Amino acid sequence: MLTAAAVIGVGHFISQRQDYETSIERSYQAEMAARVQIAQGDDSKAARRTIAAEEARRAELRDSISDDTRNTAILVGIGLIAGLIGALLLFAGLITAMRRPLEALVDAAGRLAAGDRSTRVEVGGLSETATLGKAFNDMAAELELEASERDQLDRMKDEFVLTASHELRSPLTSVQGFAELLMMERDSLTQRQVETVEIILDNCRHLVRLLNDLLDLARSDAGRLAIRPRPTRLGPLIEDVVRTLRAQTEASEQTLTEKIDANLPLVEVEPDRIRQILVNLVTNAHEYSPKRASIEVTARVTDAEVEIDVIDDGPGIPPAQMEHIFERFVRGDAGLTQRVGGTGLGLAISKSLVELHGGTISVDSEVGRGSTFKVLLPVAPPGAVEAPPSGPRAIAEGPR
């Protein structure tokens, strides 16, 4: 408003200035006419009075105009300051109006990034922030849709693997069963036929292992890999695994020994699953190590955990491979895997299983020196007693 007053003031000042110049000009013209009259010899008193009067009038006009100029300058100054303050207030208002929606947007973006795909912002305020808010909501909606589609695909994948590994079991039962029947009559088979049937049986066993591993992984992914832990003595379990696998290691002239602390406490685990993990670790040590290597399984108590180490003096694992060793379908050097019979899933499953028991699994290895796989399992609560398995017994195939 004051700015408007300043503008009006400046306009007023300009028109006054024009009046002033016209008046001065007229005054000079009047004085000039009087002087001409005098120069022509008409030295009348009236002419001299006119000159004096015009001089006085001009002085008065000059005084008045300089007052006007000062007033106008003050007015303009005030107007400018007021304008500046007005602009500042306007900016402050704009910033406040934008800040709240922007803060909400930053907040929502943080939640979205943290995985809350249902995050939305309230659309409103200035048209710019409203547009931004709407764009954000559209983006979040799209992400939410994609995430739910991905979840659904994941579920379908898990379902598929479960069904497939289930459906494959019946034909596999027939192939293996009839091959075993043939082997029961091995006396009437030629050497070549016996070898052929042995190959069929070998591959059946491999297929069963793959199916079991895939099933475990699919269950783990679907959150359906359940364990039924009960207080368990690890010593006999480790001895049993070592005894079962000794035939294989002896065939490679490897030594397989165990060293178990005498006062090992009970651990809260599902024995079959721990057996599965140990069989996997010892089999890996056996298959990846050369002839005459030595493999040792140790168990001791550390604080609230029992530590099981599977130690070999084999070729070791290069650091680049060690990073990925617990990922699925990651296997040791191709040169070695030629004679390695695993599925590439064993360590991934072992990791899932150990973690399901509330434990950890890790590896320490040096190329040329060997590898140590370390499993930590929580000790059973004090007062726990070794419990027999519950529920109907499963008549399943041997150790997985």
Partner 1 sequence: MTTVLVADDSETILLLMRTRLELAGYEVETAADGQEVTERVDPDSTDGPDLLLLDAMMPRKSGIDALRELRAAGLETPALIVSAHQDPSDADAPTDLEISGYVTKPIDFDLLLGAVAELTAKAA
Q: Does 77 bind partner 1 (CB under 8 A)?
A: no
What are the residues whose beta carbons fall under 8 Å from the beta carbon of 339, sequence distance 6 or more? 287
Window 194 to 233, contacts with partner 1 (CB under 8 A): 204, 208, 211-212, 215, 226, 228
Distance CA 232, CA 29 (A): 127
Q: Does 169 bind partner 1 (CB under 8 A)?
A: yes
Read off the DSSP letter of residue 339.
T
Which one of 142, 167, 195, 323 is in contact with partner 1 (CB under 8 A)? 167
Distance of CA 169 to the CA centre of its chain: 38
307-346 mask for partner 1 (x: CB under 8 A)?
----------------------------------------
Paired tokens of 381: 């609560």
Identify whether the C-beta of residue 140 lies closer than 8 Å to the C-beta of residue 120. Answer: yes
Paired tokens of 155: 């579920």
Which one of 118, 174, 203, 257 is in contact with partner 1 (CB under 8 A)? 174
Stretch that binds partner 1, among 151-159, 180-188, 302-310, 335-343 (CB under 8 A): 180-188
Smallest distance from partner 1 to CB 175, Å: 8
How many beta carbons lie within 10 A of that of residue 45, not counting itself? 7
Smallest distance from partner 1 to CB 373, Å: 25
Smallest distance from partner 1 to CB 319, Å: 36
Distance CA 131, CA 137 (A): 10
Smallest distance from partner 1 to CB 150, Å: 26
Distance CA 346, CA 168 (A): 20
Identify whether the C-beta of residue 306 lies closer than 8 Å to the C-beta of residue 376. Answer: yes
Q: Does 177 bind partner 1 (CB under 8 A)?
A: yes
Stretch that binds partner 1, among 259-267, 349-357, 360-368, 387-395 (CB under 8 A): 387-395
Distance CA 245, CA 256 (A): 8
Smallest distance from partner 1 to CB 215, Å: 6
Smallest distance from partner 1 to CB 205, Å: 9
Residue closer to partner 1, measured from CB, 184 or 320: 184
Stretch that binds partner 1, among 47-55, 104-112, 169-177, 346-354 (CB under 8 A): 169-177
CA atoms within 13 A on the CB side of 353: 26
Which one of 184, 262, 304, 320 is in contact with partner 1 (CB under 8 A)? 184
What are the residues whose beta carbons fall under 8 Å from the beta carbon of 349, sequence distance 6 or more? 213, 216, 217, 220, 276, 280
Strands 255-260 and 294-302: parallel
Stretch that binds partner 1, among 48-56, 171-179, 276-284, 309-317 (CB under 8 A): 171-179
Q: Does 396 bind partner 1 (CB under 8 A)?
A: yes
Paired tokens of 160: 């598929």
Q: Does 122 bind partner 1 (CB under 8 A)?
A: no
Q: How far, CA to CA in Å, does 11 sit from each of 14, 23, 61, 86?
A: 5, 18, 19, 22
Paired tokens of 179: 């091959």
Residue closer to partner 1, measured from CB, 22 or 174: 174
Which one of 4, 32, 74, 181 is in contact with partner 1 (CB under 8 A)? 181
Which one of 116, 178, 203, 257 is in contact with partner 1 (CB under 8 A)? 178
Q: Does 187 bind partner 1 (CB under 8 A)?
A: no
Paired tokens of 64: 């008045």
Stretch that binds partner 1, among 179-187, 234-242, 280-288, 339-347 (CB under 8 A): 179-187
Core vs surface per residue 343-361: b (16+ CB within 10 A) or e = bbbbbbbbbbbbebbebeb
- Strand ranges (E), 146-261: 230-232, 255-260
Q: How many residues bind partner 1 (CB under 8 A)?
A: 28
Smallest distance from partner 1 to CB 206, Å: 12
What are the residues whose beta carbons fall under 8 Å from the beta carbon of 177, sequence distance 6 or more? none
Smallest distance from partner 1 to CB 231, Å: 20
In the complex, which residues of this chain contact partner 1 (CB under 8 A)? 166-167, 169-170, 172-174, 176-178, 180-181, 184, 204, 208, 211-212, 215, 226, 228, 391-398
